[in-house]
Amino acid sequence: MSPDSRHLLEVDQLSTTFATPHGLLPAVSEVSFTLQEDETIGIVGESGSGKTVLARTIMGLQPMTNIQVEGSVLINGFQVVGASDPEKRKHWGTDVAMVFQDPMTSLNPVMRIGKQIDETLRVRLGMSRQSAKARAIELLTLVGIPSSTERYDAFPGELSGGMRQRVVIATALACSPKLLLADEPTTGLDVTIQAQILNLLGELQQRLHMSVVLITHDLGVVATRTSRLIVMYAGRVVEIGETRDIFAHHRMPYTRALLDSSPRISNPSHTRLLAIPGRPPNLLNLPNGCSFAPRCSFATDQCHNERPPLTPSSEPGHSFACWNPLPISTRSEMS
């Protein structure tokens, strides 16, 4: 463990490429970012932008074959890229844990929920049967499951989607991880349940001093709950910075397009949405230059031929990948 690492998570030039029958598919390309202790970072993007593959690569959960991972992922000093499964298993649960999108399929349907939490505690922490059960009931209470002693014996099918996601969170938190990767934790849940789960995650993050990576397609989820934000498009980071800066002073036209095309409750009804034409590119056949250029109204020849690097903006920590960025503070007059 390097003594000078103040960052809990350091991702450097990370690329994940799948070998498919149709050619190489670069799902994640040259992603770099760091995360401090107690910090929550958001990753937003549309489907196919590489958010989930990025999270799985950070976690070290990849298929064995037909995949190439380059770059580096340091979690608490541990190099995930290239580590063997037994090595990774040692730090799963205690250093890093993941909450998956679908609470219906991330639990074993024929195993009592208490046992699924127990398993982690007994295997990873070597707890006895009894103390694992006591701890599992404690965890169920922690994530807000009413009458947790009785629910310990419930099967996942007996619980609602929101309750199941609470169980998944309890399982992830069982060994007090320092880093929690939450991949679309509330997608598919109703708004009132979504609010409950997001509040729960926020509370737990503060109480347990975790760092959280919150991955979502919904800008509303990250707007008030993250300190920094990464916008991904076609496997690349196209903008990164403080969440407020990204919302108020984004420079990348794609970020603007994402914000403009989301309907808002604060707008009067029948507000015309500013839709962008086209759809995200096929990753098997990416354009040479900027991946967003074919849909971008500001695109020039340079955009089509040369890939823009991440360029620092005026605010600290804010970078964007664009040859023709939007002028600074374009939205400030609106808010």
Partner 1 sequence: MTSHVPLLSVRDLTVVFGSGSHAVSAVAGISFDIFPGETLGLVGESGCGKSTTGKALMKIVAPTSGSIELDGIDVTRQKGRALRNARSRMQMIFQDPISSLNPRRRIKDIVAEPLDCWKSVVGVERDDLVADLLNKVGIDPAIYGNRYARQFSGGQCQRISIARSLAMRPKLLICDEMVSALDVSVQAQILNLLQDLKEEYGLTLLFIAHDLAVVKNVSDRVAVMYLGKICEIGPADNLYHSPAHPYTKALLGAALEADPDSPVHGEVLQGEPPSPLDPPSGCRFRTRCPYATELCANEEPQPREIAPGHQVACHFPLVP
Residues that bind partner 1 (CB under 8 A): 46-47, 160, 162-163, 190-196, 198-199, 217-221, 223-225, 243-244, 247-248, 257-277, 279-280, 335
Residue 171's closest CA among 119, 112, 104? 119
Q: How far is the CB of 268 from partner 1 (least distance, A)?
A: 6
Owner of token pair 């109480």 = 207
124 or 217, CB closer to partner 1? 217
Q: How far is the CB of 271 from partner 1 (least distance, A)?
A: 6
219 or 240, CB closer to partner 1? 219
Q: Give one DSSP letter per residue of 112-165, joined into a string.
A: -HHHHHHHHHHHHH---HHHHHHHHHHHHHHTT-SSHHHHTT--GGGS-HHHHH
Q: Which residues have a Cβ under 8 Å from the Cβ of 327 and sit 6 or more positions away?
A: none
Q: How far is the CB of 167 from partner 1 (least distance, A)?
A: 14
46 or 119, CB closer to partner 1? 46
Q: How far is the CB of 315 from partner 1 (least distance, A)?
A: 14
Q: How far is the CB of 119 from partner 1 (least distance, A)?
A: 27
SS3 of 121-134: the string is HHHHHCCCHHHHHH
Q: Compute the half-sphere exposure of residue 90: CA atoms within 13 Å on the CB side of its CA.
A: 9
44 or 75, CB closer to partner 1? 44
What are the beta bridge partners of residue 16?
A: 28, 69
52 or 120, CB closer to partner 1? 52
128 or 147, CB closer to partner 1? 147
Measure the CA–CA gap between 251 and 301, rounded to whole angstroms. Answer: 19
Owner of token pair 């737990």 = 204
Angstrom CA distances, 246 to 234, 324, 327, stand at 19, 17, 13
Tokens of 326: 């939007």
19 or 195, CB closer to partner 1? 195
8 Å CB contact between 283 and 27: yes
8 Å CB contact between 217 and 183: no
160 or 288, CB closer to partner 1? 160
71 or 220, CB closer to partner 1? 220
Q: How far is the CB of 296 from partner 1 (least distance, A)?
A: 12
Q: How far is the CB of 222 from partner 1 (least distance, A)?
A: 8
Tokens of 191: 């708004």
Judged by DSSP in three states, 294 sits in helix
Tokens of 226: 């993250």
Q: How far is the CB of 94 from partner 1 (least distance, A)?
A: 30
Measure the CA–CA gap between 230 and 219, rounded to whole angstroms. Answer: 11
Separate counts of helices (H) and strands (E) for the chain: 11, 12
Q: How far is the CB of 223 from partner 1 (least distance, A)?
A: 5
